[in-house]
Amino acid sequence: MAFAQLQLAAPLARAVSEMGYESMTPIQAQAIPVVLQGRDVMGAAQTGTGKTAAFALPLLQRLMKHENSSTSPARHPVRALVLLPTRELADQVAQQVKLYAKYTNMRSTVVFGGMDMKPQTLELKKGVEVLVATPGRLLDHIEAKNAVLNQVEYVVLDEADRMLDIGFLPDLQRILSYLPKQRTTLLFSATFSPEIKRLANSYLQDPVTIEVARSNATASTVEQHFYSVGDDDKRHALHQILRQRGMKQAFVFVNSKLGCARLARSLEREGLKTTALHGDKSQDERLKALDAFKKGEVDLLVCTDVAARGLDIKDVPAVFNFDVPFNAEDYVHRIGRTGRAGASGLAVSFVSPKDARLVADIEKLIKTKIELEPVEYDEDKPDIRRQGRFNEGRRLYEQTEERSEPRGERRTAPRESRRPSAPPQDPFFNQPYESTEAAAEPAPWEAVAKPAGRVVSANIRPKRKVAALFNKSEETSS
């Protein structure tokens, strides 16, 4: 089905034509007519299938009746709210909405955490028809009375399963409580888990279910390989596959923020232009990393699952699962970064012996038998491990280089003794034994000590001989 058949308003049709849109993707062909009718939608589609246009274009078409050129903020209340789980995804959706609405008088903005609230507050005070937001920052603006949602007509919950995984359900419930009960709600998710179905039953009214691909299916354009690799050999295998395939850029996924930072540093030392993307990065650092990757200034983007959803970067040839994801559904979302919009892609997973249970979970989810393959190394492969070993986020250990000389030609120079010098000895104890039987004098220690004379302290006055004086006086009187 072609976009020309939708009979969009002239400003929207002009923008779509300039963006090169001709024929619709399956999710667009099924969702757009339903949303134009004002029905609630529960849609399942993988990322990269054109979901943004599937909900943004019909919403803008229905909001055209409110279009006006007034500069008064009161004439531009929030009428459509789009909620997304991550900052990157929110920013990308907001950019797409601006492109679709650039020839209209409707306003849009995006609010997300990690940035100062003041610029966002200024945009909200001007009035916007379409507000794209992450749940946490939107609640901040609601509590600060910067955002008023009592005239919202349309709500979009994009990547709803990811929002539940992150723990946004209480925030979503609070936000939805601020909205009018009479509204159109669109829910899009990569999977229809029991939690998603409960959420849909709570907030959607008689929704139309749209499923353009088998639940949890991987794209048919992605070539998937699982290699049996030990933890110490993963970096070596990564270099080998990049060299064999002649790849210029790729995503490398790991399970921890610490492991992400350390792997990026190790690959950088090994000559690959690498940057890290994880939750501890500031928003400015994350945007710079994405921009550098898009411009081709970076070969590898090492990231955690914070980047597994919503990153719309065209022509990414490969995705490497350096660590097998703990959650099998994250595998589907990780490899969804490649093979987008009908292009071919490569997904490589490094499996160590301890990952057997995780691989079994992936097998069960995608309903495909997984065969582990060995990595074929070149004979003249460089010993990457000389430059350090990456082992599950632990310390980097430097290994000593092998000697270049053969065994027989090694130098045999005597080593300098490193023993401590002996302590000095008394020569008396080295003399031979001599008998002491003929000795006349007793040994010094056997001599009887003479009793020492009584010593009177100088502080004691001697007693006077009083008796002698009495005797002398008696002789005189007689």
Three-class SS of 329-370: HHHHHHHCCCCHHHCCEEEEEEECHHHHHHHHHHHHHHCCCC
In this prediction the pTM is: 0.60
Domain match, 157 and 202 both: yes
Considering the domain architecture, whether residues 162 and 277 belong to the same structural domain is answered as no
Contact 26, 33 (CB under 8 A): no
Q: How many domains does the chain have?
A: 2
Whether the pLDDT of residue 162 is over 90: the answer is no
Q: Which domain holds residue 165?
A: 3-211
Query: What's the average model confidence in pLDDT over 18-31?
Result: 88
Q: Which amino acid is at 162?
A: R
d(CA 359, CA 366) in angstroms, rounded, equals 11
- The pLDDT of residue 398 is above 60: no
Per residue in 95-119, pLDDT tens? 999 999 999 999 999 999 888 999 9
Find the helix packing angle between 51-63 and 10-18, rounded to 10°.
Answer: 160
Q: Do residue 86 and residue 138 come from a single domain?
A: yes
Least confident of 121-125, 213-217, 377-381: 213-217
When comparing pLDDT for 438 and 390, which is higher?
Answer: 438
Residue at a domain's end among 381, 411, 433: 381
- What's 315's domain CATH number? 3.40.50.300
Whether 286 maps to a domain, the answer reads yes
Q: What share of the chain is helix, strand, coil (3-state, %, to 5)?
A: 40, 15, 45
CA 57, 287, 280, 266 dihedral sign is: positive
Q: Is 281 a residue whose pLDDT tops 90?
A: no
User: What's the maximum distance between 2 C-alpha atoms anywhere in the chain?
Assistant: 167
Across the range 74-100, mean pLDDT stands at: 92
More confident residue, 298 or 458: 298
**Residue 102 is assigned to a structural domain of this protein:** yes
- Residue type for 173, please? Q
The pLDDT tens digits for 188-204 are 987 777 888 899 999 99
Is 52 a residue whose pLDDT tops 60? Answer: yes
Does residue 215 carry a pLDDT above 60?
A: no
Give the model's confidence band at 388: pLDDT under 50 very low, under 70 low, under 90 confident, else very high: very low
- Per DSSP, what are the bridge partners of residue 132? 82, 110
Which of 110, 125, 145 minimizes the C-alpha distance to 283? 110
- Which of 189, 211, 233 represents a domain boundary (last residue)? 211
